[in-house]
Structure 1
């Protein structure tokens, strides 16, 4: 037996992960508090560099504490204006550093102008000039330290109970960069990337080399000790994705893919959580259908929407798509407790402002279904509670399939008509 199969992450990392998870609901006020302390810390450190430790306290004017508090308030106001507290430290990167640079530069100029305008000559001009730089270094270092600690704890928790997984990524664009950040947390080792852009070949992106074009995936010397291939081309055409899959499949390694472009537009930054096996929809021989977004929004926005079979393979994805259009309430009806819990957790993470109603229900029970519809009075109903695996149900389960699919649809339609639902959509 593989000794890694019995691996248990150290308790300290589990406790740290739970502690960080409890802090996330208070991310914005905590971010402002920590940044405020760092700005004040940087002010004192700048004085220390300027006048030395011996005169660090005595040489400062009596009003310096008030100047420091005013500077902290100015910085925090500009941070809030630029939405710095809304960023997630565990995903800090170049974009966050750029935003912090502009915030510190703007606040530093504003503070220097006010101090000189008030003729507060006791404050050294060199302190005013250096303070934004020291502040920027401080806030960036804390964010980098937090991200490093978070990624290490996640790798300790999720990466130790599996075989070491080494991946080569097909694609070297923005999606690949975002993917690599999450893969490390899950214990993956990214050995390299492949991309057809000549300008990227031979370069290093986030420290990972671009080994060559996509066609090099068939060269074992290029793949080395890789155990998986991951296609990270969400914005490419169906033809390009199919070509990449054909090349990757010829290597004999397991082939995975990142979520689709539609899923990426929902804004979930952790692509690694969505890495999955190739599905037929990923290889369509046509371009994706363009949805009438405005028309769908008019139907769903601000409405009470009920979905039966909400935790199933189709129902769960339907829930995610409906949630994008901001219904006032999303009622989830599901027979399986586990499936209901799974989709509820996913939706709560993706759409924290959405009001969810989680109900265990059987569409074959007319009384129960009518009670649910009477209580929540849905305006739009999507009926997805059906057995869909035809070969499986045909063999020995035909009566169960017939009863669930026909009687369940009949009951859901009756209940929708009873409460005057505006729309009833039968999925299957």
Structure 2
């Protein structure tokens, strides 16, 4: 019956401990009498032993010694055994005293029996665990992947714990640059040498994988490890980021391949969660370009703030279908609408705002590909990026939307391309509309109404976004090369898609502190050479630099060698968030806006060259050059 209730393994463990109690008392008597126990003591021991076993066994059950498995016996299990044996021994002594039998038991037996019981119970569990793990390793070591761990800190130690007994991984050593740890053993794994000695240890131990277990390490260490691994033909992996580990999103055992984000070495974004909840929770949020890289990530970030409803606006049917399938599967409880719509279509936008009454609008819809918009499509770039923004913004004003957040780009700074100029014009449209709103508010202070606050956010390239160099490079690597780069000195600012989306949300919250119309500039860190980026992708693919050829094809129309985050005439103001600053851009007025709108009505019949000629008039910083140093 006991076996049926608690399981056969528990029954066997319990039986083992019962026998251990009897053996411990017998051994204690043997030790006391030098292995020649008097007959009277043998009779007394046999008479009292059943009661001793029952009392001690009751203590074992009371302290839950049978809730775990012997295979995973650990220090907490040993502590429970010590307490259970001590309490049981005290109870046995009291029982003997109450029945007047204590004088018949030698004091040495009272002291020795618990110690011997601890040795038998604890030792048998540890021996079983060691045997089980050795048996697993002997059966599975040929299938498990041999791995070296870079780092010997707390994260590495926790990783070794997590991988103990793993069928997939077998840790054969650790490497760390702290000389005090060299030669020591952590969780049974030896710290064999320094990180720079990785190639020789990989060869010596026949290792096929390396795990970087230093989540706060700089990108320089990640890159060096990646280069060493690619040179010697082993795969480099890493643990989740430090931010994810402390937040509880992931565990240290969730090993993954190194990603480009790790090589950027950017600190995690800290968001004003309370403020964002006030802005977003329980509100209707509309996102244009919701099927794109930034738009879709914005929607993923929005879900955590529990908005009342999210409206996904997208012109591409396939992109909308794809994002719908993802969100319906991942967030079935979220209230959402997926709508086809062209932001230039005033009637359609009015219909959507009438139906949903959004409180916050994130405008991510735009044509962004520089060379594509430069030739044959300049007119469409202006219509979509400028006229579309104006139409959407006017509808937002008419429906008293609280916040209108425009996603801009670093290519709007001193633009040399039609695309960059169109995004700068979109910024100026929002600035002019904000000035118009402020003017009318000041003129009619006696009848205050809800007013729309415009916010613009500029940032550079995001890793892996649609149309970026990352997917293109990966495709070229998969084909065996070559990787094509326009210029050997070309640099770009990069951040991850989640980081960009988080900072857009933060900027949306902070917008309006200076009256609205602010242009927020994201801290993009240091610019990254495209050549270095290509080499990083080669290493991430498990190849060496010499395995894939790099060709330089020359700058394409509208491209710069180096992007900028501020125009020469602009300066910035700090904000409470260390990764956001406010650009002090030149202002435009209502008259400028009315003239621009009149020009936009004619854009549909303009050639590429006519568009470029007109842009000089509307965007003073614009210069049409092939190369800008």
Alignment TM-score, normalising by the size of structure 1? 0.53
Greater shift, 108-117 or 63-72, is seen at: 108-117
Displacement after TM superposition at 1:402 (Å): 3.0
Summarize the Cα distance change of 1:281–1:151 in structure 2 as closer, same or farther, 3 Å threshold.
Answer: farther
Displacement after TM superposition at 1:262 (Å): 5.9
Displacement after TM superposition at 1:200 (Å): 0.8
- Cross-structure match for 2:236: 255
Is it true that 1:43 corresponds to 2:24 in the alignment?
Answer: no
- Cross-structure match for 2:53: 68
Q: Which has the higher helix share?
A: 1
**Counterparts of 1:386 and 1:57, CA distance in 2:** 89
Is it true that 1:203 corresponds to 2:178 in the alignment?
Answer: no
What SS class does the counterpart of residue 47 from structure 2 fall into? coil
Q: Residue by residue, what CA displacement relative to the aligned partner does 1:128-158 show, whole Å, maximum 9, x if unpaired?
A: 3233333333333443355346545655776
Contact 2:148 2:202 survives alignment (8 Å): no
Any gaps of 5 or more consecutive residues in structure 2? 278-295, 329-333, 339-359, 363-497, 502-629
Contact 1:203 1:209 survives alignment (8 Å): yes
Summarize the Cα distance change of 1:260–1:107 in structure 2 as closer, same or farther, 3 Å threshold.
Answer: farther
- Cross-structure match for 2:148: 168
Is it true that 1:242 corresponds to 2:219 in the alignment?
Answer: yes
Summarize the Cα distance change of 1:266–1:210 in structure 2 as closer, same or farther, 3 Å threshold.
Answer: same
**Counterparts of 2:274 and 2:94, CA distance in 1:** 48
Displacement after TM superposition at 1:39 (Å): 3.4
Displacement after TM superposition at 1:289 (Å): 3.8
Displacement after TM superposition at 1:169 (Å): 0.9
**Counterparts of 2:250 and 2:326, CA distance in 1:** 38
Find 1:413's aligned residue among 318, 323, 336. 336
**Counterparts of 1:126 and 1:296, CA distance in 2:** 70
Asked which structure has the greater CA Rg, the reply is 2
- Cross-structure match for 1:345: none
* CA RMSD across the alignment: 5.2
- Cross-structure match for 2:453: none
Summarize the Cα distance change of 1:90–1:179 in structure 2 as closer, same or farther, 3 Å threshold.
Answer: farther
What SS class does the counterpart of residue 43 from structure 2 fall into? coil
What SS class does the counterpart of residue 192 from structure 1 fall into? strand
Find 2:43's aligned residue among 40, 58, 73. 58
Q: Residue by residue, what CA displacement relative to the aligned partner does 1:237-274 show, whole Å, maximum 9, x if unpaired?
A: 2xx242431231121231112244466568899955x2
- Cross-structure match for 1:144: 126
Is it true that 1:194 corresponds to 2:194 in the alignment?
Answer: no
**Counterparts of 2:77 and 2:324, CA distance in 1:** 57
Equivalent runs, 1:152-163 vs 2, <5 Å:
155=137, 160=142, 162=143
**Counterparts of 2:67 and 2:73, CA distance in 1:** 11
Displacement after TM superposition at 1:65 (Å): 1.7
- Cross-structure match for 1:401: 319
Summarize the Cα distance change of 1:267–1:408 in structure 2 as closer, same or farther, 3 Å threshold.
Answer: closer
**Counterparts of 1:111 and 1:296, CA distance in 2:** 60
Equivalent runs, 1:91-106 vs 2, <5 Å:
91-93=72-74, 95-96=75-76, 98-100=78-80, 102-104=82-84, 106=86
**Counterparts of 1:294 and 1:139, CA distance in 2:** 53
